[in-house]
Amino acid sequence: MPDGSLAIKALTWEQADQALNRFDSLSPYDPKLVPHLFKKEDESFAADGKTQMELRYFGISSKNYVLFRGTPQNPEIIKPSQHGLGTYFRPDPRPWIRAKNCVCTDKYRPMAFEDWKIILRQ
């Protein structure tokens, strides 16, 4: 980089797609039923449905993860998994909300967004 720091070469979206598609040959599933072993999540596309967006992932265990944009100190939560955040939770009369700026229409409890922000910041 101009300031002397090391740079990391990132793959283009097309190169990433090609790498993921190579795993299809390892799939134990019938390709007529499961055409691709990996799929792009709706959350990775902007609200226009065309523009692919970079997402960051933080996972604690299976089914216990968050997809976000930005930095851990200032995250924009896109998909907050709700598994593992507790079987019991405080009653919350607030309406469920969906992530902003993505094509996904799933809705989540406001508490899930808040809890993951706290976890990421720590």
Q: Give per-residue pLDDT as tens, 25-57.
A: 999 999 999 999 888 888 888 888 888 888 899
Instruction: Give dist(CA 47, CA 40) in Å, integer.
Output: 15
DSSP class of 45: B
Contact 112, 79 (CB under 8 A): no
Q: What's this model's pTM, rounded to 2 decimal places? A: 0.72
* pLDDT recorded at residue 84: 61
Express as a percent the part of the chain with pLDDT over 90.
Answer: 34
- Say what percent of the chain tops pLDDT 70: 94
What is the pLDDT at residue 81?
85
Return the SS3 of 114: helix
* pLDDT value of residue 86: 56
Stretches where the chain sits below pLDDT 70 are 84-90
Task: Residue 79: count other Cβ atoms within 10 Å of its Cβ.
Answer: 23
CB 84 within 8 A of CB 58: no
Place of tokens 């709700």: 82
Which pLDDT does position 62 carry in this prediction? 75
pLDDT of 93 reads 86
